[in-house]
Amino acid sequence: MTDCVFCQIVAGKIPSETRYQDEDVIAFRDINPLAPTHILIIPKKHIPSLTHLTDAEASLIGHMVRVANQLAKDEGIAEGGYRLVINSGEQGGQIVPHLHMHLLGGRRLADRLC
């Protein structure tokens, strides 16, 4: 997926402020942060969206949540609270077509979900 911006981040062809990585996932700061902490957690494998996630890949989501929880602790926002968001598809507000989870926190977030 050479035209996918997040695959290019995985490949190191586009720089990112990486906060964590292992064999399966990478986490980096969002280029346009919407909160003091705004980190994206993505699978290294190109999966276009939640809709495309197979049963065999579903455990990735749990792994992404565990990574996000650890990053929230590292960022010092675990106690105050934070939000994990996965946008899926056009009406779900997904712009980059490579599955990703937003970790948002560091301030009081909007009460309304949407």
- Give the position of tokens 């957690």: 41
Task: Check: CB of residue 71 under 8 Å from CB of residue 27.
Answer: yes
Phi, psi (degrees; rounded to nearest 5) at 73:
-65, -45
The number of angstroms, rounded, from the C-alpha of 5 to the middle of its chain's C-alpha atoms is 13
The DSSP code for 55 is G
21 binds ligand AMP per the rule CB under 6 A? no
Stretch that binds Zn ion, among 3-11, 15-23, 36-44, 64-72 (CB under 5 A): 3-11
In the complex, the smallest distance separating the C-beta of residue 19 from ligand AMP, rounded to whole angstroms, is 11
Q: Is 96 in the site for ligand AMP (CB under 6 A)?
A: yes
The verdict on 46 binding Zn ion (CB under 5 A) reads yes
Tell me the C-alpha distance between 2 and 21, whole Å. Answer: 20
Stretch that binds ligand AMP, among 26-34, 50-58, 65-73, 75-83 (CB under 6 A): 26-34
Q: Which spans of this chain sit near ligand AMP (rule: CB under 6 A)?
A: 5, 14, 16, 30-32, 40, 87, 93-96
